[in-house]
């Protein structure tokens, strides 16, 4: 059954989207689809940081659109708006009379002159930008499951998860999570993330972001449980 969102331009509409994305990475399914594009297109601007889940989702979909596009069909999403649109009167176009053009001196303009150094440099830069963009579009994505362990049974697991999700970078999207009992009253956090392979190194993410200050106040260790190409 298709999920419906109403008036995404309002605070109430954004709040519903934010709550919906609390435990989801995408509008439907486990990868970006046309449902995500539909909701993305319905938003006039990126959600504010007040709506942390919606803002995270928007940043990820925006990056996917620029990097590789979205082709998955999805399950269907319904976007409704409560705004009232008034018909505006159609104003006929005004045609201005053109004055006869004066004769130009053909000798003043060289339409087939040689290309300048500046023009050659600009053309080379455009070609390099197109090549770099094509290379980015070929970049793959991976789904990763992490085990994040606390120091002891007195560690605040809510703050531990907040520390994990506070790590933000281009090409990284945090997904669903759950607490799993380990023993002796200790629980570990299992959390999913989706990465763009050319932009995010999982090893660097763990060693340089999750196991350093301030996150290591709560995190004792972090292990990769599963790593799958999408």
pTM: 0.43
Instruction: Please give the Cα distance from 211 to 63 (Å, whole number).
Output: 26
CB 81 within 8 A of CB 47: no
pLDDT at 121: 81
Instruction: Please give the Cα distance from 79 to 42 (Å, whole number).
Output: 7
pLDDT at 112: 46
Residues linked to residue 150 through DSSP beta bridges, in sequence order? 219
Instruction: Please give the Cα distance from 115 to 101 (Å, whole number).
Output: 29
**SS3 sequence of the chain:** CCEEEECCCCHHHHHHHHHHHHHCCCCCCCCCEHHHHHHHHHCCCCCCCCCHHHHHHHHHHHHHHHHCCCCECCCCEEEECCCCCCCCCCCCCCCCCCCCCCCCCHHHCCCCCCCCHHHHHHHHHHHHHHHHHHHHHCCCEEEEEEEEEECCCCCCHHHHHHHHHCCCCCCEEEEEEEEEEEECCEEEEEEEEEEECCCCCHHHHHHHHHCCCCHHHCEEEEEEEEEEEC
Tell me the pLDDT tens digit for each residue of 47-79: 998 999 999 989 988 888 877 666 666 566 666
Cα-based angle 57, 180, 52 (whole degrees, multiple of 5): 20
Instruction: Please give the Cα distance from 23 to 51 (Å, whole number).
Output: 14
How would you write the pLDDT of the chain (230 residues) with one tens digit per residue? Answer: 678 888 888 889 889 989 999 888 888 888 888 888 888 888 888 999 899 999 998 998 888 887 766 666 656 666 666 443 344 444 555 555 455 555 555 555 444 455 677 777 887 887 777 666 655 555 689 999 999 999 999 999 999 999 999 999 999 999 999 999 998 889 999 999 999 999 999 999 999 999 999 999 999 999 999 999 88
pLDDT at 24: 86
Residues linked to residue 183 through DSSP beta bridges, in sequence order? 186
Instruction: Please give the Cα distance from 140 to 118 (Å, whole number).
Output: 36
Cα-based angle 181, 54, 82 (whole degrees, multiple of 5): 135
Check the CA dihedral 35-143-164-205 and report its sign. Answer: negative
């Amino acid at each position: 059954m298709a999920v419906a969102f109403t008036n995404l331009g309002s605070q109430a509409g954004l709040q519903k989207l934010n709550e919906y994305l609390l435990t989801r990475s995408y509008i439907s399914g486990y990868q970006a689809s046309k449902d995500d594009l539909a909701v993305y297109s319905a938003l006039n601007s990126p959600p504010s940081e007040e709506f942390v889940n919606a803002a995270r989702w928007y940043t990820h979909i925006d990056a996917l659109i620029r990097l590789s596009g979205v082709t998955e069909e999805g399950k269907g999403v319904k976007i409704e708006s409560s705004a009232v649109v008034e018909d505006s009167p159609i104003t006929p176009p005004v045609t201005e009379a053109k004055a006869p053009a004066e004769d130009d001196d053909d000798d003043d303009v060289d339409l087939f002159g040689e290309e300048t150094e500046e023009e050659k440099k600009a053309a080379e830069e455009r070609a390099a930008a197109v090549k770099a963009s094509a290379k980015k579009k070929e970049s793959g994505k991976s789904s990763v499951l992490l085990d994040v362990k606390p120091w002891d049974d007195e560690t605040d697991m809510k703050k531990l998860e907040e520390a994990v999700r506070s790590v933000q970078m281009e090409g990284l999207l945090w997904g669903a999570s759950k607490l799993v009992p380990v023993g002796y009253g200790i629980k570990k956090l299992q959390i999913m993330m989706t990465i763009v392979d050319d932009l995010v190194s999982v090893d660097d993410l763990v060693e340089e972001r999750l196991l350093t200050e301030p996150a290591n106040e709560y995190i004792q260790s972090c292990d990769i449980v599963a790593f799958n190409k999408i």
